[in-house]
Amino acid sequence: MDKYAVWGNPIAQSKSPQIHTIFAQHTQQNMVYTAILGSLEHFEQQIQDFFTQGGKGCNITAPFKERAFKLAHHHSERALTAEACNTLKRLDDGSLYADNTDGLGLTSDLQRLNYLHPNQSILILGAGGATKGVLLPLLQAEQNIWIANRTLSKAQDLAQKFVQFGNVQAVALDQIPNKSFDLIINATSTGLQGEVINIENKILQNATALYDMQYAKQSDTPFIAHCKQLGCHNLSDGFGMLVGQAAHAFELWRGIMPQMEWIDIT
């Protein structure tokens, strides 16, 4: 049986084993997928051991995406621009290939929700690793992007790096243009502290749709709860993005693209 795993710290909350097990059942793949707590000190050695002992591939989640990227011998363009990977695959010669399917997971979910059409205006809140991981596929989907971040210089650095791929600019939180964005994406880590980013309510209220890259099963994320209180419509958390990134990783490993509908996303 082929061995796969997701590595993170913490990892107990991960839904990836359930998602990949359902994908494997539907596509009749002979594989097992487990969740493994990565060691903050010995992550690299753990990954080497996993592959030496026959592991075929793995997903990587926080806080190891940059470290996993550095471990790999070959990288997709998406991983190279993100400078981080969420997926590793062992190639036939034993070397490791790194991909980053987070952005494709996001665009797949936005398509499922009918939120993604060419030439839209998108406001992304946050300029950390989560934003960097999704910018390339969003720009390739012909989106016009504003990145707003508490620390403006980080948004400016990202915009400068990605402007070669499309229309992207940085803006301070209190300088967000007074326009109706087609989509606002929360890519900050504020929800982890139970907080919401501090921007004017009318920016959120004027948006056609709002998406939180974080997800919470059986409840609303702080961002979604805040948007609901403001009377916003077309709200979605990031569980579908998780399913989408998993589907693209599964395709890389097994050569079969699972259907997102196999998972109950609602």
Which CB, 142 or 200, lies closer to ligand ATR? 200
The reply, when asked if residue 153 is annotated as ligand binding, is yes
Can residue 204 be called a binding residue for ligand ATR (CB under 6 A)? no
**Measured from the CB atom, is 31 or 124 closer to ligand ATR?**
124
Contacts of 175-178 with CB under 8 Å at 24 or more apart are 176/123, 176/146, 176/148, 176/200, 176/203, 177/146, 178/202, 178/203
C-alpha 10/C-alpha 2 separation (Å) is 24
User: Cβ distance 17 to 257 under 8 Å?
Assistant: no
Closer CB to ligand ATR, 63 or 166, in the complex: 63
Maximum pairwise Cα distance, the chain: 55
Calpha distance 84→69 (Å, rounded): 5
240 is in an annotated binding site: no
User: Residue 198 CB, nearest distance to ligand ATR (Å)?
Assistant: 6
Per-residue x/- track, 123-162, ligand ATR (CB under 6 A)? ---xxxxx------------------xxx--x--------
The residue of the chain with the least Cβ separation from ligand ATR equals 128
Any catalytic annotation for residue 70? no
For residue 85, state whether it binds ligand ATR (rule: CB under 6 A): no
Give the C-alpha separation, 129 to 132, whole Å: 5
16 marked as binding residue: yes
106 lies in the binding site for ligand ATR (CB under 6 A): no
- In order, the DSSP letters of 195-262 are ------HHHHHT-SEEEESS--TTS--HHHHHHHHTT--SEE-THHHHHHHHHHHHHHHHS----GGG
| Element (DSSP H or E) covering residue 192 | none
81 scored as a contact of ligand ATR (CB under 6 A): no
Q: How far is residue 26's CA from residue 28's CA, in Å, rounded to a whole number?
A: 6
Q: How far is the CB of 254 from ligand ATR (least distance, A)?
A: 28
Binding status of residue 9 toward ligand ATR by CB under 6 A = no
Interatomic CA distance for residues 246 and 67, integer angstroms: 20
Nearer to ligand ATR, 114 or 198 (CB): 198
Q: According to CB under 6 A, which one of 14, 101, 188, 221 is a site residue for ligand ATR? A: 188
Quote the least distance from Cβ 127 to ligand ATR, whole Å. 5
Between 31 and 138, CB nearer to ligand ATR: 138
Question: Which tokens go with 149?
Answer: 């971040």
107 in contact with ligand ATR (CB under 6 A): no
Catalytic residue among 65, 89, 132, 202: 65
Considering only residues 221 to 260 of the shown chain, the ones binding ligand ATR according to CB under 6 A are none
Q: Does 257 carry a binding-site annotation?
A: no
* Phi, then psi, of 67 in degrees rounded to 5: -70, -40
Spatial contact of 24 and 13, defined as CB atoms under 8 Å apart: no
Residues in contact with ligand ATR by the rule CB under 6 A:
126-130, 149-151, 154, 188-190, 195, 197
Query: Active-site residues: which are they?
Result: 65
